[in-house]
Structure 1
Amino acid sequence: MDLNSITEVVRRPFDRPGSQWRGGDTWLAGGTWLFSVPQPDCRRLVDLTTLGWDALTITDAGLEIGATCTIRELYAFAPQCDWPTAPLLATSCEAFLSSFKVWNAATVGGNICLSLPAGPMITLTVALEATYTLWAADGTERTVDAADFVTGDHRNVLEPGEILRRIDIPAATLRTRHAHRRFTLTRLGRSTVFLVGTRATGADDLRLTVTAGTTRPLRLAFEAMPDAAELRRRIDAVPDDVWFDDPNGSPDHRHHLTTHFAEQIRVELAAGDRP
């Protein structure tokens, strides 16, 4: 789609592009959503792809993902590490409502900042207990937990001129066991629910991440593996207004699917450590 309100495109922004921010600006990374709908309030695009941020970096602390890392780069990533949850990276890429051709442009950071309930990069990073590094327009930076970033449908904690710079996934969660369940109305459709459970190897805990069926991601933490009744109680305690309602599923339908799939995940992870 042509964005006929644009008067300027900044092709080579400063290394700290927030210092150039002004009203009417929009950050441009992949642009796969940006160019798909009218943007009447946008006057200037600031292109982040020219900044040369590293896409994926393995460190002793875990995995760093640059915000401009493309979905194609993440999908192709094959870490030579003992990370049982590594397959979840590809699984989350496959949950996109898009063709593989879009993966060449769409970015991890863009999907997170769009903050839609079905954003699979949100599911991935919340489930793996990532943190986000945010750069403010005044040159300062802050770190937020992935679970706290999205606050509602298409809403997040970003301030004007603030930018998502990096996603950090800790090595500890990359070494956990995981199980996931996802439901769509059609094989390649938007997620109605997307759940991921993790359990530390040799431990008896459970972390259940609920997304797509809720307006914001939920992380339900259990220090010991719950029984079916306790798990259901935690899900039933989710406020009614948090369940998402759109043509892909009613709140009641999403609540039901979440309860059903959460129990499957609990049983799978409760079965004990398996090769």
Structure 2
Amino acid sequence: MDLNTITEIVRRPPDRPGANWREGDAWLAGGTWLFSVEQPDLRRLVDLTTLRWDPLVVTDKGLEIGATCTIRELYAFRPPADWTAGPLFGTACEAFLSSFKVWNAATVGGNICMSLPAGPMITLTVALEARYELWAPDGTTRTVDALDFVTGNHENVLTPGEILRRIEIPVHALRKRATHRRFTLTRLGRSTVFLVGTRTPGNNDLLLTVTAGTTRPVRMVFDTMPDAPTLQQSIDVIPTDVWFDDPNGTPGHRRHLTKHFAEEIRRELASGSPT
């Protein structure tokens, strides 16, 4: 879609691009959402892709993902052999309701900052216990837990002019055993629910992440593997207004699916073999 209110595009922003932020600006990375709807309040686009942030950096501490890393680049990534949760990268990329053309442009950071319930990069990073590095226009930096970033449907903690710089995934989460369940109304449809469970090697714990069916991510942490009734009760206490309601599923439908798939995940991780 043409954005006929735009009067300027900043092609070469400074290394700290927020320094020149002003009302009417928008960050431009993949632009897959930005150019899909009218943006009457925007006057200027600031192109982040020219900063050439490293898309993926493997360190002793884990994985750093630059906010402008494309979905195609993430999908092509081959994690170290001991990162047993590595298959989640491909799973999350395949959960996009998009064509390969979108994969070539859409960015990890853009999907997170859109903060939609079905955002698969949100699912991935919350499930892997990531933290986000945020840059403010005044030059300060803060780090937030991925779980706390999205606050509701299309809502997050970013302040005006603040930018997501990188995602940091800790190595201990990448070395966990992981499994997932996802449901859509159609084969290539938007996620109605998307759940990920992880278990620490040598421990009998469980971390369950619930997304897509809720307006914000929900994380359930169990030091020891819960029995079925305990897990079901934990899902029952999710507030009613947190369950998402749209044409892809009612809150009741999403709660039912979440309870069903959570039990499958529990049994799989408890038994040590796929169900």
* TM-score, structure 2 as length reference: 0.99
1:105-142 deviations in Å (ceiling 9; x for gaps): 00000000000000000000000000000000000000
Q: Is the 8 A contact 1:135 1:164 kept in 2?
A: yes
Aligned to 1:167: 167
Equivalent residue for 2:30? 30
Q: Give the partner amino acid of 2:228.
A: A
Deviation string 1:153-193 (CA, Å, 9 cap, x unpaired) is 00000000100000000000000001100000000000000
Tell me what 2:8 maps to. Answer: 8
- Contact conserved, 1:109 with 1:164, CA < 8 A, in 2? yes
- Give the match's secondary structure for 1:54: coil
Partner amino acid, structure 2, of 1:88: L
Q: How does 1:127-138 map to 2 (within 5 A)?
A: 127-138=127-138
**How many pairs does the alignment contain?**
274
What whole-Å deviation, never above 9, does each CA across 1:217-241 have from its counterpart, x for those lacking one? 0011111100000000000000000
Aligned partner of residue 126 in structure 1, secondary structure? helix
Whether 1:223 aligns to 2:262 is no
- The amino acid that maps onto 1:207 is L
The corresponding residue for 1:249 is 249
Runs of 4+ in 1 over 3 A off after TM superposition: none
Cα distance, 1:146 vs. partner?
0.1
In the alignment, what sits opposite 1:268? 268
C-alpha separation in 1, matches of 2:112 and 2:52: 19
| 1:108-147 mapped onto 2 (5 Å cutoff) | 108-147=108-147
Using the alignment, how far apart are the partners of 2:98 and 2:138 within structure 1?
A: 35
What runs of 5+ residues in structure 2 fail to find an aligned partner?
A: none
CA contact (8 A) 1:199 1:207 kept: yes
Secondary structure, in 3 states, of the residue corresponding to 1:79? coil
- SS at 2:35 equivalent: helix
SS at match of 2:100: coil
Alpha-carbon offset, residue 101 of structure 1: 1.6
Provide the rounded CA distance (Å) in 2 between the counterparts of 1:106 and 1:140. Answer: 27
Alignment-mate amino acid for residue 125 of structure 2: T
**Alignment partners' CA distance in 1, 2:254 and 2:19:** 42
Partner of 1:190: 190
Q: C-alpha separation between the residues in 2 aligned to 1:259 and 1:171?
A: 29
Residues 25 and 44, structure 1, Cα contact 8 Å, conserved in 2: yes
Shift of 1:81: 3.6
1:80-119 to 2 correspondence within 5 Å? 80-119=80-119
Q: State TM-score, norm by structure 1.
A: 0.99
- Deviation for aligned residue 1:80: 3.0
DSSP-derived class of the 1:232 partner = helix
Deviation track 1:187-230 (CA, whole Å, cap 9, x = no partner) reads 00000000000000110100000000000000111111000000
Root mean square deviation of aligned Cα: 0.9
Match of 1:58 in 2: 58
Match of 1:149 in 2: 149
SS across alignment from 1:213: coil
The SS at the match of 1:180 is: strand
Cα deviations by residue, 1:46-87 (Å, 9 ceiling, x for unpaired): 000000100000000000000000000000001234100101
1:202, 1:273 within 8 Å by CA — same for their partners in 2?
no
Structure 1 position 273, deviation (Å): 7.4
Tell me which amino acid in the other structure corresponds to 2:207.
Answer: R
Query: Is 1:203 matched up with 2:198?
Result: no
Q: Secondary structure at the match of 1:36?
A: coil
Structure 1: tracts of 5 or more residues without a match: none
Q: State the alpha-carbon separation in 1 of the partners of residues 116 and 48 from structure 2.
A: 21
What is the distance in 2 between the residues matched to 1:41 and 1:219?
35
AA aligned to 2:7 is: T
